[in-house]
C-alpha cells in the first residue's frame, strides 16, 4: 500500500486516469526527452559516485556478469517459447523487448528502495546499461536466421553492422555510461557540487516523467485489441518468471537484498524506447503495436504498480 502513496506512483496513476478519460493533457515531446535524459544522467552520476567509494570489487564484477547472463538467457527463453506459437519474426521482436530493460522501471525501483531504506550498490546502473543491448543483438540474429532464404533477409544482413552500432551507441546509454564515468572520476567533490542537480531535483523530475508515462500507457491500451491472447498472457506472466530466475541466481551467488531486488526488476522489465527504435528498422515486418502494446500497455504498469512491491517481498522472504 505504501508504494501506491508514493508521489511518483500517484502521478503515474493520475496520468493513466487522465489518458483513459480522453483528457487533452499532454507533455510536449521535447520536455519528455529532456526528462528522460535528466533521469539517466542523474542515475549515472549517482552510480559513479558510489563506485568511486566502493571501488571495483569481485562482488561487483559477479553482479555485472549475472546481469549480462540474464540479458542473454531471458530473450533465448522467450524466443524458444513464443516461436512455437507465433510467427518467428514476431517471437524475435517480443524476445528482444522482454530481454532488454526499462530504465524508468529501474529508476522507480531505486526510489522505492531509498524510501524503504534498503541499501544497494550504485554500480547497478552499470548493470542496467549492460542489459540493454544483448537481447537486441540476439533477436536480430534469430530473425535473420528465420528468414535467411529470402532476398529481403540478405539485404537485412548487410545492414546488421549498422543496426548493432545503433544499439551500442544509443544516446541514452552513452549518456548513462558517460555520467557514471564523470561521477567516478570526480568522486566526493563532484558529489557535493552536483547534489542539488542530481539528488534534490530527482524525485520531482521522476514524478513529472511518470505522469507522461501514465498518459502514454493509457494510449497504448488500444494496441492490445487485436493482439493474440498468448501475448497478453505472456505480458502478464513473463515478468514474474524472469524475476524469479534473477532471484534464484542472486540466491545462489549470495547477492545483497538491494542488488537482488534491482536484478529482479531489470529481468522483469521490458523495453519500450531503445528496442522499438532499433526494431523499426531491423524487423520492419513486425508491427510496433505488438511489442509496444505489450511492454507499455501491460508490463510497464504491472511492474510499476504491483511488480516492484512483489519482487521486494519475494527477495526479503527467500534470500
Decide which of 42 and 158 is more confident. 42
CATH code matching the domain that covers 29-318, chosen among 3.40.47.10, 1.20.1530.20, 3.40.50.300, 3.40.50.360: 1.20.1530.20
Predicted local distance difference test score (pLDDT) of residue 148: 66
Confidence of residue 70 (pLDDT cuts 50, 70, 90): very high
Domain ranges of the chain: 29-318
State the chain's mean pLDDT as an integer: 86
3 band by pLDDT with thresholds 50, 70 and 90:
low
Question: What does the alpha-carbon distance between residue 33 and residue 23 come to, in Å, rounded to a whole number?
Answer: 21
DSSP character at residue 150: S
pLDDT-wise least confident of 113-127, 155-169, 263-277: 155-169
| 277 compared with 271, residue with greater pLDDT | 271
Contacts of 276 by beta carbon, 8 Å cutoff, 6+ apart? 97, 288, 291, 292
- Provide the angle, in degrees to the nearest 10, between the axes of the packed helices 274-282 and 160-168: 170
- Residue 288 neighbours by CB under 8 Å, 6+ apart: 276, 279, 280
Neighbours of 58 (CB within 10 A): 7
> Which of these ranges, 58-62, 80-84, 131-135, 307-311, has the smallest mean pLDDT?
131-135
Between 136 and 266, the higher pLDDT residue = 266
pLDDT band of 149, cuts 50, 70, 90: very low
Structure confidence at residue 158 (pLDDT)? 43
Instruction: Judge whether residue 287 has pLDDT over 90.
Output: no
| Cell output for 287 | 508491427
* DSSP per position, 78-127: HHHHHTTTS-HHHHHHHHHHHHS--HHHHHHHHHHHHHTT----TTHHHH
pTM for the model: 0.84
- Please give the Cα distance from 216 to 218 (Å, whole number): 5
Of the chain, the percentage scoring pLDDT greater than 70 comes to: 91
C-alpha torsion sign, points 256, 5, 100, 211: negative
Asked if 167 and 274 touch (Cβ cutoff 8 Å), the reply is: yes
- pLDDT at position 154 is 47
The alpha carbon of residue 284 and the mean position of all alpha carbons in its chain are separated, in whole angstroms, by 22
189-211 tens-digit pLDDT: 999 999 998 888 988 998 998 89
Return d(Cα 209, Cα 273) in angstroms, integer.
Answer: 14
Q: What's the gap between Cα 91 and its chain centre?
A: 19
Residues in the chain: 319
Q: Which three cell numbers stand for residue 35?
A: 526528462
Alpha helices in the chain (DSSP H): 7-20, 29-54, 58-82, 88-99, 103-115, 124-130, 134-146, 151-158, 160-168, 171-198, 202-220, 229-253, 257-268, 274-282, 288-294, 300-302, 308-318
Q: What is the pLDDT of residue 144?
A: 78
Say yes or no to pLDDT of 169 above 80. Answer: no
Amino acid at each position: 500500500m505504501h508504494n501506491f502513496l508514493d508521489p511518483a506512483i500517484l502521478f503515474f496513476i493520475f496520468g493513466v486516469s487522465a489518458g483513459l478519460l480522453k483528457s487533452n493533457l499532454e507533455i510536449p515531446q521535447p520536455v519528455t526527452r529532456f526528462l528522460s535524459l535528466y533521469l539517466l544522467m542523474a542515475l549515472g552520476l549517482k552510480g559513479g559516485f558510489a563506485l568511486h567509494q566502493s571501488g571495483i570489487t569481485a562482488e561487483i564484477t559477479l553482479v555485472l556478469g549475472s546481469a549480462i547472463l540474464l540479458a542473454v538467457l531471458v530473450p533465448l527463453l522467450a524466443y524458444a517459447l513464443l516461436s512455437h506459437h507465433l510467427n518467428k519474426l514476431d517471437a524475435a521482436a517480443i524476445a528482444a523487448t522482454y530481454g532488454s530493460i526499462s530504465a524508468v522501471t529501474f529508476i522507480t525501483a531505486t526510489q522505492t528502495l531509498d524510501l524503504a531504506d534498503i541499501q544497494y550498490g550504485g554500480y547497478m546502473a552499470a548493470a542496467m546499461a549492460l542489459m540493454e543491448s544483448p537481447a537486441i543483438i540476439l533477436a536480430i540474429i534469430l530473425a535473420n536466421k528465420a528468414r535467411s532464404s529470402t532476398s529481403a533477409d540478405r539485404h537485412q544482413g548487410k545492414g546488421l553492422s549498422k543496426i548493432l552500432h545503433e544499439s551500442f551507441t544509443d544516446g541514452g546509454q552513452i549518456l548513462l555510461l558517460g555520467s557514471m564515468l564523470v561521477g567516478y572520476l570526480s568522486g566526493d567533490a563532484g558529489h557535493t557540487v552536483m547534489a542539488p542537480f542530481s539528488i534534490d531535483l530527482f524525485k520531482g523530475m521522476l514524478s513529472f516523467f511518470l505522469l507522461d508515462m501514465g498518459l502514454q500507457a493509457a494510449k497504448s491500451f488500444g494496441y492490445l485489441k487485436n493482439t493474440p491472447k498468448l501475448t497478453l498472457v505472456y505480458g502478464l506472466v513473463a515478468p514474474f518468471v524472469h524475476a524469479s530466475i534473477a532471484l534464484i541466481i542472486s540466491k545462489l551467488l549470495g547477492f545483497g537484498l538491494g542488488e537482488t531486488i534491482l536484478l529482479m526488476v531489470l529481468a522483469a522489465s521490458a523495453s519500450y524506447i531503445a528496442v522499438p527504435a532499433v526494431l523499426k528498422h531491423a524487423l520492419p515486418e513486425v508491427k510496433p503495436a505488438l511489442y509496444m502494446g505489450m511492454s507499455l500497455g501491460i508490463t510497464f504498469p504491472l511492474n510499476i504498480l504491483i511488480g516492484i512491491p512483489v519482487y521486494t517481498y519475494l527477495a526479503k522472504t527467500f534470500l
